[in-house]
């Protein structure tokens, strides 16, 4: 079977484990791979920031309860969140950075803001 360079497609001669015809092609290929991964991170981060902004805008004007359809209509993407917190009372909060919400029945969400999780991390770093 003919083997070709993963970057430029040139025919490969020599060792059967060779993947590239040159160091230049290896570099091109790896740079492209890194860029794609960075795009992924950038896109996810943009979505997280958008979600956070939506929650923050609502919360900071005193809007602490919203129907999930209304949140969705504002562009909120429920797939992306930063962490989940379950309280002693077994309430499950889904957070986007310091803003979070929990289901409060009939499709309504209760909003909250908390730095508790971050403070916990900082304490652990100090000790």
CB of 25 to Zn ion, least distance (A): 3
- Residues in 13-52 at the binding interface with Zn ion, rule: CB under 5 A: 21, 25
- Under the criterion CB under 5 A, does residue 4 sit at the interface with Zn ion? no
- Under the criterion CB under 5 A, does residue 7 sit at the interface with Zn ion? yes
Distance CA 91, CA 53 (A): 23
Q: Say how many residues touch Zn ion, by CB under 5 A.
A: 6
Q: Decide: 93 and 51 in contact? Cβ < 8 Å.
A: no
CB of 30 to Zn ion, least distance (A): 13
Range list of H helices, the chain: 23-60, 68-73, 116-126
Distance CA 35, CA 41 (A): 10
The residues binding Zn ion (CB under 5 A) are 5, 7-8, 10, 21, 25
């Amino acid at each position: 079977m003919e083997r070709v360079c993963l970057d430029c497609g040139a025919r490969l001669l020599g060792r059967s484990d060779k993947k590239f015809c040159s160091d230049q092609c290896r570099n091109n290929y790896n740079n492209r791979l890194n860029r794609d991964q960075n795009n992924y991170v950038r896109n996810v981060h943009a979505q997280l920031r958008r979600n956070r902004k939506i929650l923050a805008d609502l919360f900071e004007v005193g809007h602490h309860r919203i129907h999930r359809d209304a949140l969705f209509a504002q562009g909120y993407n429920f797939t992306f969140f930063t962490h989940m917190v379950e309280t002693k009372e077994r309430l499950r909060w889904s957070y986007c950075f310091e803003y979070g919400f929990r289901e409060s029945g009939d499709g309504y969400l209760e909003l909250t803001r908390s730095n508790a999780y971050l403070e916990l991390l900082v304490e652990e770093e100090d000790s």
